[in-house]
């Protein structure tokens, strides 16, 4: 489907961004920083008929990022969205990118502005699907069943959290690495002991290493039978460094959450170093951009695994994205406790034997529980 229902134009009556932040007992640790609370910026679009669509803007870092992105949305995006009618979500995605291109260059805010456009695009697609009366996975030509993995296993006793997620139905797991060779290998050993030799296990270094360090780490981790090594080096490391690492690594390299733009992804796919392509639907592209990336990845023989670490709107959107694109691979689901996941993505899909079955409700099929979220709401 590429048009709104019956070809009717879409006129937005209201566009707003809602900010939520919840304190957490166990910080989420990466090689470059620590999250001591969990934020979410949710886009709410309402059309002239009262139909509502939901999206989510990436906002994990820095700690003040959620409020900043919400203000960008309110000051830049909302006026553009309500000033005219739209025929398809992709039209708005392209128009917003053009209208804000020079401003992004002028301010040096290319990343945050791309993130705001991405979350807006998700909300437009949700609204479009609701107006069409179709779940997005079906409207975009996909199938409802997808595989998922438990992500964000922190470096402190990760085997305990992994065992809990296994009992909840997960069958694939991803460990955070980049905390020193001894600690990383000890954690992998503990995970293999807890999960067994045949459990799907991946690692994410969050751009922790220089090229020589990355190659040494890949060699050291090879005996653990990993499905992929994610972001072992900074995304802007020289192309030949990525090529050499890919050739030397016993496991595929993964990345994409920090790549922006159709051309950026096309170049990454063509270069051949990444075996697993991982765009983040709330960081760049929304559905309009990431659907194209996913389909190009599959046609090039790569595995497509959407990245996500945020609230429930973007999580469910990532599931619909993967269902629409198809192919082997997983959708990332953060293993750490976060009420913004289940309450924003209500009713949150159940995991059974490592898989999720999306439902028949229109659009994303969710209704964020704003009443239960009231105490987490942040004024902007």
pLDDT digits (tens, 9 = 90+) for 264-282: 999 999 999 999 999 999 9
* Cα(149)–Cα(173) distance, integer angstroms: 5
Same domain, 156 and 48: no
| 137 three-state secondary structure | helix
Note down the domain range covering 243: 137-357
Same domain (yes/no): 54, 163: no
Instruction: Say yes or no: 223 and 182 in one domain.
Output: yes
pLDDT of residue 33: 82
**Residue 343 sits in the same domain as residue 195:** yes
166 and 233 assigned to the same domain: yes
pLDDT computed for residue 7 by the predictor: 57
The whole-number average pLDDT for the span 50-67 is 95
What mean pLDDT is predicted for residues 212-232? 98
Same domain, 116 and 198: no
Q: Is the pLDDT of residue 4 over 70?
A: no
290 lies in the same domain as 176: yes
The mean predicted confidence, pLDDT, of the chain is 96
- In this structure, the answer to whether residues 141 and 128 fall within a common structural domain is no
Query: What are 97-140's pLDDT values in tens digits?
Result: 999 999 999 999 999 999 999 999 999 999 999 999 999 999 99
Residues 66 and 191 placed together within one structural domain of the fold: no
User: Which CATH number is 54's domain given?
Assistant: 3.30.390.10
pLDDT at 305 > cutoff 50: yes
pLDDT, tens digit, 9 for 90 and up, residues 177-194: 999 999 999 999 999 999
The number of distinct structural domains making up the chain is 2
Please give the helix or strand (H or E) that residue 69 lies within, else none. Answer: helix 65-72
217, part of any domain: yes
Mean pLDDT, residues 303-332 taken together: 98
The reply to whether 152 and 127 lie within a common domain is no
On whether residue 364 sits in a domain, the answer given is no
Residue 271, domain member (yes or no): yes
User: pLDDT at residue 206 above 70?
Assistant: yes
Confidence of residue 34 (pLDDT cuts 50, 70, 90): confident
Number of C-beta neighbours around residue 143 at 10 A: 12
Pairing of strands 34-47, 52-57: antiparallel
Residue 248's pLDDT is what? Answer: 96
Q: Which residues contact 235 (CB under 8 A, 6 or more apart)?
A: 207, 255, 258, 259
Confidence of residue 27 (pLDDT cuts 50, 70, 90): confident
pLDDT for the residue numbered 5? 47
Contact status, residue 199 vs residue 173, Cβ threshold 8 Å: yes
């Amino acid at each position: 489907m590429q048009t709104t229902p019956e070809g009717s134009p879409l006129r937005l009556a209201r566009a707003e961004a809602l900010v939520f932040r919840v304190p957490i007992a166990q910080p989420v640790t990466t090689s470059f920083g620590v999250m001591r609370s969990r934020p979410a910026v949710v886009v709410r679009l309402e059309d002239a008929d009262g139909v509502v669509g939901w999206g989510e803007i990436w906002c994990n870092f820095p700690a003040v990022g959620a409020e900043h992105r919400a203000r960008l949305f309110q000051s830049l995006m909302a006026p553009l969205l309500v000033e005219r009618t739209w025929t398809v979500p992709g039209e708005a995605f392209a128009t917003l990118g053009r209208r804000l291109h020079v401003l992004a260059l002028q301010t040096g805010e290319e990343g945050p502005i791309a993130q705001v456009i991405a979350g807006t695009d998700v909300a437009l697609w949700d609204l479009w699907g609701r107006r069409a009366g179709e779940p997005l996975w079906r409207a975009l030509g996909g199938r409802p069943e997808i595989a998922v993995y438990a992500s964000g296993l922190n470096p402190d006793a990760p085997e305990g959290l992994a065992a809990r997620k296994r009992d909840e139905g997960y069958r694939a797991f991803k460990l955070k690495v980049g905390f020193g060779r001894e600690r990383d290998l000890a954690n992998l050993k503990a995970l293999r002991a807890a999960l067994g030799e045949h459990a799907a296990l991946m690692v994410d270094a969050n751009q922790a290493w220089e090229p020589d360090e990355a190659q040494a780490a890949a060699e050291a981790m090879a005996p653990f039978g990993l499905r992929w090594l994610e972001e072992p080096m900074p995304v802007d490391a020289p192309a030949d460094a990525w090529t050499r690492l890919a050739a030397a690594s016993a496991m595929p390299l993964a990345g994409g959450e920090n790549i922006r733009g159709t051309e950026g992804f096309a170049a990454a796919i063509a270069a051949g170093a990444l075996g697993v392509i991982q765009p983040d639907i709330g960081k760049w592209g929304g559905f309009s951009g990431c659907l194209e990336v996913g389909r190009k990845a599959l046609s090039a023989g790569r595995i497509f695994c959407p990245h996500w670490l945020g609230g429930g709107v973007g999580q469910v959107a990532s599931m619909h994205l993967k269902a629409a694109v198809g192919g082997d691979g997983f959708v990332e689901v953060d293993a750490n406790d976060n009420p913004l996941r289940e309450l924003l993505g209500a009713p949150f899909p159940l995991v059974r034997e490592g898989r999720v079955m999306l439902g028949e409700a229109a659009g994303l099929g969710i209704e964020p529980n704003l009443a239960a979220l009231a105490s987490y709401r942040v004024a902007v």
